[in-house]
């Protein structure tokens, strides 16, 4: 029996503006997307504005300590409500001074009492599904979407085991990385380590043991890819690790949450994150987040962030931008994926799962 190898996606999935529009209006509007960290808005009235799938939003902490997210648009005549970050007692539209409570309900507006039949109780900013996931704020534009624990089964509990201090963490450093490639090219590159030994020597020789690296889709059908490996021998590690501090102190694990976020636990229980934003069909932005308890200074974490920025991040930019240029070549024919039945670092079975999700998101829309 002839068996044909599974081939990679056609280039149009990455280069066609029509596919990108389908993703923005479909996939990216119906999935959980990272908004920010709860430590960034610790007090009642603290807020930050952001964008998901082309929609302007803002998250704000209420007096009841609940973080809510709203579309960033006044219900009067569509002016945007806030910009950037800040703190406010009430949310005031700059255009006509309509004023909203922190819970979104209309409080007041100039001369509205003179309007016959005007019912202030029926006017409210449009709220967006929001979840606090171990201090990380995620939103979903689909009001009917399943909760995050159904999308990503077991992840919340696993991260708490690897990073016992996770709920006390706050951002220490953000690294913003513009990339001239389709967002899926960057996601695929992150989600395989087939390229690590030959392209990331610092990561492969000073953080992890490539020969132990494996990436597995969630066994129960969730939208998770779990990266696992052992840490490099202590004499080769580029930073100090106390193996006695925690049962997972010598482990590396990463949880990629489809479609655009990943929690990483480096050896030593060091939490760091990736999150992506799709800008255009040909560009995206990646952020690397580094965290400490309370956001306090740490020479080790600052050093790791700098090492990562100067090595793995810089190396990946060259790779993904070259791939995106190659996808536009008339000479490219999608090649077979390397699917080793034994899995491991030299297999692309994680890319096969990603491309399945990518294909379903576009073809089923």
Please indicate, yes or no, whether residues 187 and 131 belong to a single structural domain of this protein.
no
Q: Which domain holds residue 112?
A: 41-140
Average pLDDT of 200-211?
66
Residue 208 CA to its chain's centroid (Å): 22
pLDDT, residue 57, reads 98
Q: Ranked by mean pLDDT, which of 110-119, 242-251, 322-331 comes out on top? A: 322-331
Instruction: Assess whether 126 and 195 both reside in one domain.
Output: no
- In the structure, what pLDDT confidence band is assigned to residue 232 with cuts at 50, 70 and 90? low
> Quick one: CA dihedral 183, 185, 190, 192, positive or negative?
positive
Looking at residue 21, what is its pLDDT? 96
User: What would the 3-class secondary structure string for the chain be?
Assistant: CCCCCCECCCCHHHHCHHHHHHHHHCHHHCCCEEEEEHHHCCCCCEEEEEEECCEEEEEEECCCCCEEEEECCCCCCCCCCCCCEEECCCEECCCCCCEECCCCEEEECCCHHHCCCCCHHHCECCEEEEEEECCEEEEECCCCCCCHHHHCCCHHHHHHHHCCCHHHEEEEEEEEEEECCCHHHHHHHHCCCCCHHHHCHHHHHHCECHHHCEEEECCCCCCEEEEEEEECCCCCCCCCCCCCCCCCCCEEEEEEECCCEEEEEECCCEEEEEEEEEEECCEEEEEEEEEEECCCCCHHHHHHHHHHHHHHHHHHHHHHHHHHHHHCCCCCCCCECCCCCCCCCCCCHHHHHHHHHHHHHHHCC
- Same domain as 120, residue 92: yes
146, part of any domain: no
| 103 plus 227 within the same structural domain | no
pLDDT at 324: 98
pLDDT tier at 267 (50, 70, 90 boundaries)? confident
Question: For residues 16 and 80, what is the distance between their CA atoms, to the nearest angstrom?
Answer: 31
With cut-offs at 50, 70 and 90, classify the pLDDT of residue 227.
confident
Structural domain count, the chain: 2
pLDDT band at residue 266 under the 50/70/90 scheme:
confident
Judge if 249 and 349 occupy the same domain: yes
118-130: average pLDDT: 93
CATH number at residue 92: 2.102.10.10
Any idea what the CATH number is for the domain that residue 221 is in? 3.90.380.10
Asked whether residue 348 carries a pLDDT value surpassing 90, the answer given is no
What does the pLDDT average to over 7-30?
96
The domain boundary, picked from 140, 173, 191, lies at 140
Residue 202 has pLDDT above 60, yes or no: yes
The pLDDT of residue 206 is 59
Contact 297, 305 (CB under 8 A): no
Residue 285 lies in a domain: yes
Q: What is the mean pLDDT of the chain?
A: 90
Tell which of 140, 167, 182 closes a domain: 140
**Same structural domain for residues 228 and 351?**
yes
Burial of 338 by CB count in 10 Å (0-12 exposed, 13-18 middle, 19+ buried)?
middle
Q: Classify residue 30: in a domain, yes or no.
A: no
The reply to whether 103 and 191 lie within a common domain is: no
Q: Which of 116, 140, 164 is the last residue of a domain?
A: 140
Q: What is the pLDDT of residue 200?
A: 72
Indicate whether 136 and 161 sit together in one domain: no
CA distance 226 to 200: 20
Nearest to 345 by CA among 186, 209, 207: 209
């Amino acid at each position: 029996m002839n068996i044909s190898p599974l081939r990679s996606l056609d280039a149009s999935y990455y280069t066609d503006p029509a596919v990108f529009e389908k993703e923005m209006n479909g996939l990216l509007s119906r999935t959980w997307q990272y908004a920010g960290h709860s430590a960034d808005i610790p007090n009642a009235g603290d807020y930050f504005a952001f964008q998901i799938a082309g929609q302007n939003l803002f998250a704000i902490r209420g007096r009841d300590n609940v973080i809510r997210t709203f579309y960033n648009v006044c219900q009067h005549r569509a002016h945007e409500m806030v910009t950037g970050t800040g703190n406010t007692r009430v949310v005031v539209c700059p255009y006509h001074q309509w004023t909203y409570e922190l819970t979104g309900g209309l409080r007041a507006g100039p001369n509205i009492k003179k309007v016959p039949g005007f019912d202030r109780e029926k006017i409210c900013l449009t709220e967006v599904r929001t979840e606090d996931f171990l201090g990380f704020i995620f939103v979903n534009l689909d009001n009917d979407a399943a909760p995050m624990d159904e999308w990503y089964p077991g992840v919340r509990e696993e991260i708490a085991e690897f990073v016992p201090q996770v709920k006390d963490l706050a951002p220490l450093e953000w690294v913003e990385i513009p990339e001239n490639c389709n967002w899926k090219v960057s996601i695929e590159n992150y989600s395989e380590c087939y390229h690590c030994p030959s392209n990331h020597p610092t990561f492969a020789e000073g953080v992890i043991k490539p020969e132990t690296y494996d990436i597995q889709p969630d066994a129960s059908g969730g939208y998770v890819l779990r990266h696992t490996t052992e840490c490099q021998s202590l004499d080769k590690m580029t930073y100090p690790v106390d193996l006695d501090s925690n049962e997972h102190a010598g482990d590396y694990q990463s949880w990629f949450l489809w479609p655009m976020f990943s929690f990483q636990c480096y050896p030593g229980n060091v939490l760091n994150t990736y999150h992506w934003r799709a800008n255009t069909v040909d560009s995206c932005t990646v952020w690397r987040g580094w965290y400490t308890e309370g956001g306090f200074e740490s020479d080790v974490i600052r050093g790791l962030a700098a090492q990562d920025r100067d090595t793995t991040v810089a190396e990946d930019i060259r790779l993904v931008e070259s791939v995106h240029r190659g996808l536009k070549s008339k000479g490219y024919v999608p090649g077979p994926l390397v699917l080793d039945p034994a899995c491991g670092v030299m297999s692309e079975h994680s890319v096969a799962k990603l491309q399945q999700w990518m294909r379903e998101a576009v073809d089923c829309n």
